[in-house]
């Protein structure tokens, strides 16, 4: 299967997770769900978990491949997948793939990196600059500022921003509500709303394949105001099954 098809399926599934998440889940997640009776952050946690799974998938695939030539081809393929994800404005999975490629276990594969064409290396280096955390991730923020919706933001950084705002500012000042803190949090939440202000149209003709590939299946928005019952899952077996499906998926011709 081509890099574009794989990236498209990742983007389609990311959009299902992203649109299922309610903005108020961000507030519940940062302040602590226990402070809001009946609240749930299940969709947000599912979205964050998917980021980690994709990141570990990249590392696992490359480290398990023992053949040097095949591993170099696979490494080039992942860089191409990252390029398509960026083109599709799926920054969440884009960073997940890039974080996987920048993992120390992958970076130590010196002979594999030496086999990558110079053009592909230049593309990878350009993407690495977007990951630069200096000046509060200035490179990423400048790139995002140029995007128009719909797009999927880098969710871990949004959560990090909200955490810093929450922990660095008191809820009350002189026994009065700290509205400046609330405005800063609201500004971050509005970013999520803005990303989804325009509809996303799936571009893959193989829509059913994504449902078979991902164990979780289509996402469903859950109420953030009333208690909900969730089926228990064995997270370890779920992760193993998901990785297995991705391994099969990436090797489809």
Tokens of 54: 């994709």
Q: Are 111 and 68 in contact (CB under 8 A)?
A: yes
Please report the pLDDT score of residue 39 as a whole number. 87
Q: Which domain holds residue 74?
A: 3-250
The tens digit of pLDDT for each residue in 173-229 reads: 999 999 999 999 999 999 999 999 999 987 654 444 433 333 444 544 444 444 443
Q: Exposure pattern of 203-213 as b/e (b: 16+ CB <10 Å)?
A: ebeeeebbeeb
Name beta bridge partners: 173: 176
Please report the pLDDT score of residue 19 as a whole number. 95
Please report the pLDDT score of residue 232 as a whole number. 41
Please report the pLDDT score of residue 202 as a whole number. 78
Please report the pLDDT score of residue 38 as a whole number. 85
Segments in the chain below pLDDT 70: 203-253
Name beta bridge partners: 176: 173
Please report the pLDDT score of residue 216 as a whole number. 46
Give me the CATH number covering residue 13: 1.10.840.10
Tally of domains in the chain = 1
Please report the pLDDT score of residue 247 as a whole number. 54
Q: What is the pTM of this model?
A: 0.80
Q: Which helix (H) or strand (E) holds 172?
A: strand 172-173
Please report the pLDDT score of residue 5 as a whole number. 94
Please report the pLDDT score of residue 224 as a whole number. 44
């Amino acid at each position: 299967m081509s890099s574009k098809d794989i990236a498209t399926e990742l983007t389609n599934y990311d959009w299902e997770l992203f649109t299922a998440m309610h903005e108020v889940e961000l507030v519940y997640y940062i302040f602590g769900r226990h402070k809001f009776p009946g609240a749930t952050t299940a969709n947000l946690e599912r979205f964050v978990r998917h980021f980690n799974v994709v990141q570990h998938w990249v590392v696992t695939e490359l480290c398990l491949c023992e053949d040097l030539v095949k591993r170099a081809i696979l490494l080039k393929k992942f860089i191409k997948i990252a390029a398509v994800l960026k083109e599709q404005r799926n920054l969440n999975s884009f960073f997940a793939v890039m974080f996987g490629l920048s993992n120390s276990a992958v970076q130590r594969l010196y002979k594999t990196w030496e086999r990558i064409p110079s053009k592909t290396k230049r593309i990878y280096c350009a993407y690495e600059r977007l990951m630069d955390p200096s000046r509060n991730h200035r490179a990423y923020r400048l790139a995002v500022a140029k995007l128009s919706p719909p797009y999927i933001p880098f969710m871990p950084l949004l959560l990090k921003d909200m955490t810093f705002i929450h922990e660095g500012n008191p809820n009350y000042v002189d026994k009065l509500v700290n509205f400046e803190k609330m405005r800063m949090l609201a500004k971050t939440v509005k970013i999520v709303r803005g990303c989804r202000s325009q509809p996303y149209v799936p571009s893959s003709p193989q829509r059913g394949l994504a449902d078979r590939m991902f164990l979780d299946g289509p996402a469903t928005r859950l109420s953030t105001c009333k208690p909900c019952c969730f089926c228990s899952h064995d997270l370890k077996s779920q992760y193993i099954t998901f990785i297995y499906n991705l391994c099969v998926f990436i090797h489809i011709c």
